[in-house]
Amino acid sequence: KSTVSPKPTRTSPTRQPLRPRPTKMPTGLRRTTGVRQVALTFDDGPSPAWTPKILDQLRAAKVTATFCLVGSEVRHHPELVRRIVREGHQLCNHSWRHDIDLGRRTVAEIRADLERTNKAIRAAVPNAKISFYRQPGGVWTPEVVAVAKQLGMSPLHWSVDPQDWRRPPAKTISKRVLAAVRPGSIVLMHDGGGNRAATAAACQSLIGELKRHYGVTRLS
């Protein structure tokens, strides 16, 4: 009696189902500077249209900021990462493609994404110090916090969010920041991910006002 073995079927690897969306923020997030001065952070770049404008304004005000970089954008614009570092700003990993659900994926997927992004940043700037990780959308989970820390990055949240990514007018962005800012605030804004003309316009006066009233510091 002969038996015919079935032909092997080719199956593509399936992604693991996402863990449930978190109902509360995990512990271990950096939300303040720890000093009176405030910190400026810019997400979703680097963008050839907007990052240079923000960098020009920071340089004119003689202050530094933290740039939360998306890996796929870093790959396309390494020269902007080099300028960010050259002008004394800090670097933050902001995932490879701004995956809001990244923290809900498997630990292996989270680690691969963060490592890929760090690798792209270091391809632009060898030995770059990447001090921070910021989860897209602020959808933090204990797993993504743990992986970031294992890779030597502090999980960086914020305390002031003017929702500038929704593209309100520049005056609205400024008003929201100044109404919410307190000593030690970490301010979230965007230099990439879309048209950031309003953010760039708001920063023309906002950076100076924050510097005068609170001082602007590097994150330590």
State the Cα–Cα distance between residues 80 and 175, nearest whole angstrom: 29
- What torsion, rounded to 10 degrees, do the Cα atoms 192, 195, 197, 203 define? -30
**Count of alpha carbons within 13 angstroms of residue 166, beta-carbon side:** 8
Options 43, 99, 164, 191, the catalytic residue:
43
Options 77, 190, 191, 213, the catalytic residue:
190
Sheet holding 66-69, edge to edge: 154-155, 130-133, 90-93, 66-69, 39-45, 186-190
Q: Name the nearest CA neighbour of 169 among 192, 191, 200.
A: 200
Q: Is 190 tagged catalytic? A: yes
Contacts of 117 (CB under 8 A, 6+ apart): 69, 70, 71, 74, 93, 94, 95, 96
Q: Is 89 tagged catalytic? A: no
Please name the helix (run of DSSP H) or strand (run of DSSP E) that holds residue 215, with its range, or none: none
State the Cα–Cα distance between residues 192 and 199, nearest whole angstrom: 10
Residues recognised as catalytic? 43, 190
